[in-house]
Amino acid sequence: MTTAETTPIAYPFNSAEGLALSERYDEARNRTGLLRVRMPYGEPAWLATRYADARLVLGDRRFSRAAALHHDEPRQSEGRRDSGILTMDPPDHTRLRTLVAKAFTVHQVEKLRPWVRQLTHDLLDDLEAAGPPADLVDRYALPIPVGVICAMLGVPEEDRPKFRTWSDAALSTSSLSAEEFSRNTDELRAYMAGLIEDHRIRPRDDIMTSLIEARDAGDRLSELELVDLCVGILVAGHETTATQIPNFVLTLLEYPDELRRLREEPALLHGAVEELLRFVPLGMAASFPRYATEDVEVGGTLVRAGEPVLVAVGSANRDALRFDEPGTLNVARPATQHLGFGHGVHHCLGAPLARLELQEALGTLITRFPGLRLAGDVEWKGQMLVRGPRVMPIGW
């Protein structure tokens, strides 16, 4: 039985190049109790790898994100996030989240579908005009979610090269020192504060304007919370989707029978996106540990109050106790309730939007390019919280 005194093993397990899920997770799921792990920075932690354990830790209020601020939080880089919605618990978290939740509900984002579909076609028109090979990441995967979130939030899309650098750094696990990390945060905040001032003078029909109203008229959030919320929406609003588009394409190219089936039965598209969300382990590692606020038993281990638990959703999504043939991609798999968007109060705010973007991006691409193929070596991001191609040359 593992105890808090057991020597922790080095974590993360996954390789940054590729999308494989480390076999260490299979071993971890099949043993009793939680693993004891140590990340490059911060204190040792428990690692939850099974579906039921993951749902318990992410969904139970006895586990706190805010408590991480008072501990040496386990993490991949020296620098750490000390503000934002992902460092909060209810009721503070609820107060901020409800201010923006409305903009991302299924009903709201569904209205954007025709526009997003048009965007995917316009981008492919450009690709066709230029001819193969083309970088799927830069010419398709990034412009879709960036264009959408910029319009929704009220950020000029032509600033993309500027915030791209900051956004990369915000999610980087590289050798950025704590100082570099915080300088980057300051620059991104200053940029956003400038945009907010501009919106104060010239209100528009966008999320930033509605948040400014909530602050100035309703006093429902502080100025720093306003800035951080806008930064969070911008970064979280594009990076993961932009990364999953090439990841999904790459995965489907590796499973040609599944890709063929999806092309033959377009009605499978929405379910296929859910299956890909389950199957593709996006994260380099479990991150954003939850701290137990009282003693809680998780999967055969007694987690003591004040101890952190990391939740490996990529592993939980491959748990045979929950999914039949979990290691097989099956685009026709019945509805799955995967944990690709997390679970509990921090469940991805933008999930309906991400789903829509992934459905449209994938659907248009595989329909219009029946000869879609890799046309060169994939260059991997590396040293980021999320894994995926930095450059992915395609032909068609």
Distance of alpha carbon 176 from alpha carbon 75, whole angstroms: 13
Looking at the Cβ atoms of 51 and 380, the one nearer to another protein is 51
Q: Is 351 in the site for another protein (CB under 8 A)?
A: yes
- Which C-beta is closer to another protein: that of 92 or that of 159? 92
290 binds another protein (CB under 8 A): no
Q: How far is the CB of 254 from another protein (least distance, A)?
A: 28
Among residues 179, 347, 373, 376, which is the contact residue for another protein, using CB under 8 A? 347
Return the structure tokens found at 69.
């601020």
What's the min distance (Å) between Cβ of 358 and another protein? 15
Closest approach, Cβ 145 to another protein, in A, equals: 17
Closest CB to another protein among residues 107, 202 = 107
Per residue, the 3-state secondary structure of the chain, as one string, reads CCCCCCCCEECCCCCCCCCCCCHHHHHHHHCCCCEEEECCECCCEEEECCHHHHHHHHHCCCEECHHHHHCCCCECCCCCCCCCHHHCCCCHHHHHHHHHHHHHCHHHHHCCHHHHHHHHHHHHHHHHHHCCCEEHHHHHHCHHHHHHHHHHHCCCHHHHHHHHHHHHHHCECCCCCHHHHHHHHHHHHHHHHHHHHHHHHCCCCCHHHHHHHHHHCCCCCCHHHHHHHHHHHHHHCCHHHHHHHHHHHHHHHHCHHHHHHHHHCHHHHHHHHHHHHHHCCCECCCCCCEEECCCEEECCEEECCCCEEEECHHHHCCCCCCCCCCCCCCCCCCCCCCCCCCCHHHCCCCHHHHHHHHHHHHHHHHHHCCCCEECCCCEECCCECECCEEECEEEC
Q: Which 87-116 positions form the footprint of another protein (CB under 8 A)? A: 90-91, 94-95, 97-98, 101-102, 104-107
Which of 37, 149, 273, 349: binder of another protein (CB under 8 A)? Answer: 349
Judged by beta carbon, residue 66 or residue 374, the one nearer another protein is: 66
Stretch that binds another protein, among 51-59, 173-181, 286-294, 387-395 (CB under 8 A): 51-59
By CB under 8 A, is residue 340 in contact with another protein? no
Q: From the CB of 100, what's the least distance to another protein, in Å?
A: 10
Q: Does 86 bind another protein (CB under 8 A)?
A: no
Stretch that binds another protein, among 55-63, 165-173, 177-185, 233-241 (CB under 8 A): 55-63
| 347 vs 373, beta carbon nearer another protein | 347
**Backbone angle region of 69, left / alpha / beta, with phi > 0 → left and psi within -120 to 50 → alpha:** alpha
- Shortest Å, Cβ 200 to another protein: 24
Residue with smaller CB distance to another protein, 109 or 212: 109
Instruction: Tell me the site size for another protein, rule CB under 8 A.
Output: 26
User: CB-wise, 97 or 238, nearer to another protein?
Assistant: 97
Among 58, 124, 171, 313, binds another protein (CB under 8 A): 58
Residue nearer to another protein on the CB measure, 238 or 322: 322
Q: Using the rule CB under 8 A, is 345 a contact of another protein?
A: yes
40 sits near another protein (criterion: CB under 8 A): no
Q: Which of 9, 16, 40, 59 binds another protein (CB under 8 A)?
A: 59
Q: Is 95 exposed, middle or buried (0-12, 13-18, 19+ CB in 10 A)?
A: middle
352 part of the interface to another protein, by CB under 8 A: yes
Nearer to another protein, 6 or 94 (CB): 94
Q: Is 341 a binder of another protein (CB under 8 A)?
A: yes
Contact in structure between 330 and 352 (CB atoms under 8 Å): no
**C-beta of 350: minimal distance to another protein in Å?**
9
How would you write 190-233 as a 3-class SS string?
HHHHHHHHHHHHCCCCCHHHHHHHHHHCCCCCCHHHHHHHHHHH
By CB under 8 A, name the binding residues for another protein.
55, 58-59, 61, 90-91, 94-95, 97-98, 101-102, 104-107, 337, 341, 343-345, 347-349, 351-352
